[in-house]
Each structure stands twice: as structure tokens, then as C-alpha cells.
Amino acid sequence: MKRILFLVPRMNIGGAETYVYTAAKELRTRGYEVFLASGGGRLADKLKAAGVRTFFVPVRQSKFLSAWRVSSIVKKYHIDVIHANSGAAGIIAARVKRNTSVPVVYTAHGILGNMEKEYVIDQLDQIICVSEYVRQDSIARGFHEDHLLVRYSGIDTERFTANEEERIRLRKEFGFDEDTLVLAIVSRIKNLENKGHGHLLSMLNKYGRKENWKLLVIGKGNGLPLLKTKIRTMHLSDKVLCLGHRTDVEHLLNAADLTVLPSRFETFGLVLAEGMAMGKPAIAFSVGGTPEIVKNGETGFLVEKDNEKELYECIKQLDSDRSLLKQFSENGIRWVRSRFTNRRMVDDLEVIYHKLSP
């Protein structure tokens, strides 16, 4: 069976890291030998515990040293395909290919920039774009479309499955009554604008004070202290609950009715698929790749960017019409299970790997 080496700067929580973790676990169940070279992190530790051979490679600190280290791994373990994630990992993988001729797959989790175009494009055998939005943006930036292939990220639908007993327990623990509409946002909190935390607070402040709504904020980051300050100064402490970094997101989402992500920019938005898999309709700004995940008017609502009034009205519509919310919930579960599963993602990866290394 083939030997696949994943290369990624770090393995903490994030879209690229979750992608690697999910793919690596599924590939192992299919008999592949999976290797991971990264700067370490919680997900790297979990993969190691699951039997994946892991190596510490300081991807962002020294590209020369990292390329030498990865080349040694590739030669020693007879790696068949290198799968790089992030620009820094792509540069290192390109250097390794020059030394070893091992084919390189590169997943573009974000926008492809000049660094990738100038330094690595000729050494990448296949570029996977996580959305059609990323592909079209890359073509506009001068990347040849023959290099670009859209393959959506997938989630573990067994992990992200609703549990009614857990819902009852959590809502009781948090003090939510059955009529309370609970919103959840799951993301890193770099600042208040990036993922839309500021918009949510402003929306609640302007329009939602009289509504029986609660907002669960799951995640941490440099912007968390400012977010907590804003919650206090806006007198929203009775409506917003900050849970910080959690490793049990799939359990916490049981308490929610909706997932919200009013980001100003998204290349994909994996957390929306995770929420929909659990029957939580998604409400998000219509930016980047989100229209490819959220079917507007079927699995949730797409809102004009920065339009807080429309954001409020969409949430209000589902609060007022619980039968519509239930229909969106059922639609979302079917939609995700038909299109965004880990099994489908790895099916696609297998085709690519076998094409490059027959």
C-alpha cells in the first residue's frame, strides 16, 4: 500500500490542520502508511497516538533545514506522495521534489499568492482548491487552470451527529429554556472583524435585546480579551457565553439551534458543514466559498456582507418559524452527508495519489 507524507506547519486547531487530521485517520483505515511532518501540536499528538508516524519539522523557522529533514524522511521511508498544506509547506515540498522526484500534492486552504506562483508552481504535480471560489481567484491571479482541481474538505459525520440527550443536558447546564434560540459561532478569535464576532455583538445590541436568544462563542485567540470587554461594556453578558478553546465542539453544538459565521472572508467555512451535519442551519455572510456550502433558503441563509439588519432578520425568521428551522435542519444533514464527508474527501485523494504514483 502507498506511503503518504503530510507536511503542514503546525497541527493545532484550524481548517488546514483538521483537514490533515481527518484525511490521515481515514487513510489509515484504508491500509495506507501515513506519515506526518509538522511543527507539532495537539492534533499531531492525537495522530501519533492513533499510529501515524510523526516527525518534528520546524516548517516556518528554517525552510532549508526543514527541506533537508523532509528529504531524509522521504528517502528513508520510501514515501510515494508528499501532500503539502500551506504556502510554507509548499515551498519545502517543492525543494524536496527537486532532490527526490517524489510527486507533490498541494492543498490550497487559502488564496494562492505570488510566493506559490513564483517559487513552487512548477514543482507541484496537483493543486487542490478547497472551493471553486479559490480556483477562480487563482486563475484570475495567473495560475493555469490545468493545475487547479476543486475538491471539498470533508468532516467525520459519525463524530458530528446530533445527540438529543446531550442537548437536554447542556441546555440545562447553561440555563437555557426550551424556547431559547441558541446561536453558536466556532472559530479562532484573532480580532472582532475577521470572523464576525463584532457584527454579532452589534446585531444583538441594536436589534436583539428583547429576543430570547443566547450566543455561544467557542474558540480562543488574541481577540478574546477585547471581545469579553465589549460584551461587558455593551451590557450583553446575559446573552453571550464565551466558552474559550474546547476540544469537544461536537458535544457543545448539541446545545445550539443555529450556527452563525458572519465572516468578512472565507475560502470554505468547514465549521458551517460541521454544524449542518448536526442539524444546525447555517447563517453566514455571502463571501468567498460560503455559497458553495450553504444552500440559501434550503440549509440556511446567506446574508449580504456587513448587513447586520439582514443578519438579524434571518435569525428572527427561523426563530419565528420553527417548522422552517426544522426543515432547514433536515435539509442540512442530507446535504452534508451527500457532499462533505471525510469518506468522499479521501475517495478523491486516493484517485489523485494513484494517478501521480501508479
pLDDT per position as a tens digit, 46-102: 999 999 999 999 887 777 789 999 999 999 999 999 999 988 898 899 999 999 999
62 falls within a domain:
yes
107 and 221 assigned to the same domain: no
Looking at the whole model, is its pTM more than 0.85? Answer: yes
139 and 170 assigned to the same domain: no
- Structure letter (DSSP) for residue 56: E
48 and 188 assigned to the same domain: no
Domain that holds residue 125: 3-154+341-356
How does residue 143 score in pLDDT terms, banded at 50, 70 and 90? Answer: confident
102 and 130 assigned to the same domain: yes
Helices (H) and strands (E) in the chain, counts: 15, 13
8: domain CATH number is 3.40.50.2000
pLDDT at 123: 78
Give the C-alpha separation, 239 to 214, whole Å: 5
Q: What are the φ and ψ backbone dihedral angles of 319, each rounded to 5 degrees?
A: -70, -40
129 and 212 assigned to the same domain: no
11 falls within a domain:
yes
Q: What are the φ and ψ backbone dihedral angles of 15, each rounded to 5 degrees?
A: -60, -50
Orientation of helix 15-29 relative to helix 270-277, angle to 10°: 60
CB 186 within 8 A of CB 274: yes
Residue 50: all three cell numbers together = 492513533
43 falls within a domain:
yes
> Which strands make up the sheet holding 3-8, listed edge to edge?
53-56, 33-38, 3-8, 81-85, 104-108, 126-129, 148-150
- The predicted-structure confidence for 206-227, as pLDDT tens digits, reads as follows 999 999 999 999 999 999 999 9
191 and 271 assigned to the same domain: yes
189 and 105 assigned to the same domain: no
Nearest CA to 303 among 282, 326, 275?
282
pLDDT at 350: 98
95 falls within a domain:
yes
Give the C-alpha separation, 305 to 297, whole Å: 17
Burial class (CB in 10 A: 0-12, 13-18, 19+), 264: middle
Q: What are the φ and ψ backbone dihedral angles of 106, each rounded to 5 degrees?
A: -125, 120
How does residue 115 score in pLDDT terms, banded at 50, 70 and 90? Answer: low
Mean pLDDT computed over 185-198: 95
Structural domains in the chain (count)? 2
55 falls within a domain:
yes
Q: Which residue has the cell 517543492?
A: 94
67 falls within a domain:
yes
User: Looking at the DSSP assignment, which residues form a beta bridge with residue 218?
Assistant: 186, 244
267 and 138 assigned to the same domain: no
159 falls within a domain:
no
Give the C-alpha separation, 66 to 71, whole Å: 8
311 and 168 assigned to the same domain: yes
pLDDT at 358: 85
16 and 143 assigned to the same domain: yes
Orientation of helix 308-320 relative to helix 197-206, angle to 10°: 70
CB atoms within 10 A of CB 16: 21
CB 109 within 8 A of CB 85: yes
Say whether 341 sits in a helix, a strand or coil.
strand
258 falls within a domain:
yes
255 and 345 assigned to the same domain: no
226 and 265 assigned to the same domain: yes
Q: DSSP states of 267-290 as a string?
A: S--HHHHHHHHTT--EEEES-TTH
